Chain A
Amino acid sequence: MRTDLVFCKSKVFVHPTKNARDNFPGFLLITVAGTTDPQLLWIPESSLSVKQLQLLIEMDEKLITEQKPVEMDVSIIMESSGAFSSFRVSLPSLYCIEFRPPSPSGWWYGSMISHLKDTRGDSTLPVLFFHDDVCPSTLKKKKQLNKSFDPFTSSGDVYWGGIDVRDTVAKLVDLQKTKVDQTVWLVNPSLDDLRNFSASALKSTTDQENKSTEPISTGDDFWNKWESAKWSIMSHIANATSKSSTIMTNLIKSHPVVQLVERNKNSFYVQKLLKNPRVIEIQDDFDSARVYLAKWALGVKEEADNYQSMHRLNEHYQRILKNDLGFDMTSDVSFTQEELNKAMERNFPLNRQKWNSFFDSQGRLSLTVNEIKDYIFHGGISDMELRKEVWLFLMGVYPWDSSADERIQIQQSLKESYNEYKNKWLLKITSFDDEDDESEQEYWDDQIFRIEKDVKRNDRNLDIYKWNTPDGKKPEDDNEEAGSDTSEAEHWKIKNPNLIALKNILVTFNVFNSDLGYVQGMTDLLSPIYYILRDETMAYWCFVKFMERMERNFLRDQSGIRDQMLTMVELCQLMLPKLSEHLSKCDSSNLFFCFRMLLVWFKREFDFEDVCSIWEIFFTDFYSSQFQLFFMLAILQKNCDPVIQNLNQFDQVLKYFNDMHSTMNWKDLMIRSELLFIRFEKLMTIMERKSEFIPSHEETYTSGANIHQQELGDPTSELPWKSKRLQLLLSKSMIIQKEAPRTRGSIR
């Protein structure tokens, strides 16, 4: 019988282990013979003769260009079937195929996972990875698409090797995209299949959800279901423990959910969920059954496609994307399901038990820094007591790889070092030159005067700073003057030990970094640190570390904060062009109204505990060392509509953003920040990729030259990916800008 080759793709790899050395390439073929079902085959290169290899390489390019079937020598198939990992299935025997596009950054390859209808056998098909960078046909097609400045296919997706497979399969069988997961396509779906995977059935619940004022809480349902189902499995296990272990194993293994998980353990979702902090927590709860429980829990994601609650979660994020981010499925940049899932993993704060479990017997962390930062970025830290320890690591006072003993030593030497600096001003041991003595003395007196003034009026609503008594507690005799009621408003002496500590730390920092001096706003930065640590020495060193990062906000010439505001302007132009345009009509294109929020990291806009939660996420530098700018962007994005509809003057805009205290939900904003970052990163990558094919004659372009460039009408001139400021947003390393040496005439 005549066999036609209708599709051939080279450099399709199998990754049997995590090790890249073990990957091996092959060809993905689709054949049609007479009236029999079309066949999907994968053949490893290693099983082919030189001649066969040459033939298939030829076919790879030929079929893409000509799109006509070619009669093929069946012997290739016959000889290589049975080779290691090769497979051959008929297309209609597949239930669904997942097409997972490559990451925009090129970190992981695009892949394809085929699921068989018949799941009885153990014939799981290997995951196929499309190494687009070495596949001639994919490269060729990409080049063609890029020539027309359009890296997208007719279906609107960014082109990659898997798209060719998908298009071919769609011609041979009925291939339908599921609505709940854009990467999953059903093969010859029955009506039931379509219904199960359709999101339309959920419309009524979604509409209700839209009316809810608390969108963030929608995740609870899912976890509640999980919790109750977890207990049902656990009770089965408990009943079984009295029986023999084989019975128990069989019992667990026969559970439909466990079976489902077993079959899908190579699935991206399953692996993804393994890393979910909540899942790990559940595992820890139940030692003996943890393996099965974990696997089961992971499988819930697979099953969850049938759960409305899960759909609602997706809907919620899609709604944010669609309505609020102004993003729709037909636009250039789309969030994939993975990215959304990643954002949804928030909500599980690091608690004491978890934190302790990170350390080995030496008191050394046994996880990688990135893993811990991932925890903190996505879940935060559960309480103030735990922050006391974790912040010292986050800030860099304790090295991540230190042991418990080493930390005790560090603490000791930090104490000595702090006292040394402190005594310099306390005992008036100053090394002023004789002639400068007077002005230096005047300078220091002024610094201390201003520090005291700000300490006295900082966060006095907090319990530890409230009462000006020697023990910092509320005086028993209420009539006694105690700080908050003192009549000599500006001239009272500080008695509260915590306020004294704040002052000591700020003055000592002034000795430590005498070029910078005391700048208003520093008290705002110190106050939460001291509140959490309650220890003058450790709070001091934490503050020193924090100031390495924040010094740029306080420079005399304002260059550091100006840089951030200009970055913000560019970011806003790129991500929120509508708002950006409106703001320039309001004389607010300089984003002056962001100044306070950026200077003290939203300290004045949120309640104290929220500030701690926000800061520790910034400290991680998980995505960017300037994540505060994405948080700022999220605030702008969230307020887009009211601003555009109601405000039209500089003063109105400033007032609007100045009066935001206690009106914002930081968690909602943080999820937006993350999605915005991901979108930004994607945009930058796509733009960069696109630009490789645009001849650039302005290599020295910098953002500052924007207007000049636009006048030239050069299409490349506005490409934001070339902006140094925007590029820097993708960096995780801290930006340090130091103050210039102080002279006698320096402004204060």
Chain B
Amino acid sequence: MSSKKKTILKVIILGDSGVGKTSLMHRYVNDKYSQQYKATIGADFLTKEINVDGDRTATMQVWDTAGQERFQSLGVAFYRGADCCVLVYDVTNTKSFENIKSWRDEFLVHANVSSPESFPFVILGNKIDIEETKKVISVKSAQDLAKSLGNIPLFLTSAKSSINVDPAFEEIARSALQQNQNDADAFEEDFNDAINIQLDGEADSCAC
């Protein structure tokens, strides 16, 4: 089976421009933060070796994308083969939160995934280091949204202060691995039975 071959988990990060997609990626992969990241043009990715199930390792490929709406038509080129999609908003920016649903829909349209209803997403509310008065999205409304989109796991993070980034990406890795496994199984054995999979890290909300 595919476990003998090195597993590559492909993760796509989407969200409005300036919500911190690049920063989250760098924090997770390199444990670094800089305010000097320029606006992303096109697409880029970083890879990280991760342990899964104790002794097995996999390569996580984290894809960072441009946030501006009009560049999304190019997404088709790299959405394909994704194992998990991360939707990011900025807790101090209402619009970025309101757009989460359309980012999800956009992804499903272009990625051409085998079973859209079970494809794993994770939502990250970024920049929680910023002072309370500037925050405009409550934890409650975030949880409501996550639930309404099909019990998507939600994490409130800060790439800058390194809050909750690792737990979020552990969840992302789990979901991605699961999805990767499902696809491989579906590919290799033609199950007639409908596969009914429960996502293990299901909606246990944020740790903050």
Contacts and interface: CB of A to CB of B under 8 A. Distances in A.
Nearest to B159: A489
Which range contains the number of B residues in contact with the other chain?
A: 20 to 34
A748 B16 CA distance: 11
B61 A489 contact: no
Contact of B95 (A446, A484, A592, A600): A446
Given A490-B90, A558-B70, A520 B41 contact: yes
A193 to B, nearest CB: 58
B61 A651 contact: yes
Interface stretch (A79-87, A358-366, A452-460, A665-673): A452-460
Interface stretch (B31-39, B48-56, B139-147, B186-194): B31-39
Interface in B61-86: 61, 66-71, 73-74, 77-78
B42 A592 contact: yes
A458 B66 CA distance: 15
A5 to B, nearest CB: 68
A491 B17 CA distance: 15
B35 A489 contact: yes
Contacts of A519: 68, 70
Contacts of A555: 70
A560 to B, nearest CB: 12
B39 A490 contact: no
Give the one of B38, B73, B160 with max A CB within 10 A.
B38
Interface string A522-534: 0110000000000
Interface in A427-455: 446, 450, 453-454
Contacts of A459: 38
A8 B106 CA distance: 75
A604 B38 contact: yes
Give the one of A457, A458, A461, A600 with max B CB within 10 A.
A457
Given A460-B35, A490-B18, A520-B39, A747 B69 contact: yes
B134 interface: yes
Contact of A521 (B35, B41, B130): B41
A599 B70 CA distance: 13
B36 A490 contact: no
B135 to A, nearest CB: 11
B18 A595 contact: no
Contacts of A558: 70-71, 73-74
A615 B138 CA distance: 47
A461 B130 contact: no
A556 interface: yes
Nearest to A485: B35
A523 B38 CA distance: 10
Contacts of A520: 17, 39, 41, 66-68, 71
Interface string A511-523: 0000000011101
Nearest to B8: A651
Interface in A550-601: 554-558, 590, 592-593, 595-596, 599-600
Contacts of A484: 35
A655 interface: yes
A692 interface: no
A555 B74 CA distance: 13
Nearest to A483: B35
A490 B130 CA distance: 9
Contacts of A521: 39, 41
A491 B130 contact: yes
Contacts of A748: 68-70
A490 B92 contact: yes
B44 to A, nearest CB: 5
Nearest to A658: B44
A595 B130 CA distance: 34
A558 B71 CA distance: 8
B158 to A, nearest CB: 10
A406 B72 CA distance: 46
Contacts of B130: 488-491
Contact of B42 (A458, A557, A599): A599
B42 A595 contact: yes
A77 interface: no
Contacts of A446: 95
Nearest to A492: B35
Contacts of A554: 70
Interface residues of A, number: 39
A54 to B, nearest CB: 70
A592 B77 contact: yes
B36 A453 contact: no
Given A453-B17, A595-B41, A595-B42, A490 B77 contact: no
B67 to A, nearest CB: 8
B127 interface: yes
Contacts of A655: 44-45
B41 A604 contact: yes
Give the one of B70, B127, B134 with max A CB within 10 A.
B70
A144 B67 CA distance: 61
Nearest to B90: A490
A747 B39 CA distance: 18
B148 to A, nearest CB: 24
A180 interface: no
Interface in B11-43: 17-18, 35-39, 41-43
Given A457-B37, A592-B77, A450 B18 contact: yes
Contacts of A450: 17-18, 68
Interface string A479-514: 000001000111100000000000000000000000
A520 B67 CA distance: 9
Nearest to B134: A491
A391 to B, nearest CB: 23
A654 interface: yes
Contact of B38 (A458, A488, A489, A651): A458
A519 B41 CA distance: 11
Contacts of A524: 38, 41
Contacts of B42: 592-593, 595-596, 599, 658
A519 B71 CA distance: 9
A651 B45 contact: yes
B131 to A, nearest CB: 8
A590 B75 CA distance: 13
A448 B42 CA distance: 22
B18 A453 contact: yes
Interface in A633-647: none
Nearest to B67: A520
A208 B147 CA distance: 69
A466 to B, nearest CB: 10
Contacts of A604: 38, 41
Nearest to A523: B39
B108 to A, nearest CB: 18
A519 B66 CA distance: 11
Nearest to A453: B18
Nearest to B73: A558
Interface in A601-617: 604
A491 B44 CA distance: 26
Contacts of B44: 654-655, 658
A491 B136 CA distance: 14
A530 to B, nearest CB: 16
Contact of B160 (A458, A461, A489): A489
A590 B74 CA distance: 11
Contact of B41 (A457, A596, A650, A654): A596
Contact of B70 (A491, A523, A556, A590): A556
A600 B41 contact: yes
Given A596-B41, A650-B77, A650-B78, 14 more contacts: A450-B17, A454-B39, A457-B35, A459-B38, A489-B35, A489-B130, A520-B39, A520-B67, A524-B38, A590-B77, A604-B38, A651-B45, A654-B44, A658-B42
29 contacts: A450-B17, A450-B18, A450-B68, A453-B17, A454-B18, A457-B35, A457-B36, A461-B36, A484-B35, A488-B131, A490-B18, A490-B92, A490-B127, A491-B134, A519-B68, A524-B38, A554-B70, A555-B70, A556-B70, A590-B77, A592-B42, A595-B42, A599-B42, A604-B41, A650-B78, A654-B45, A655-B44, A655-B45, A747-B69
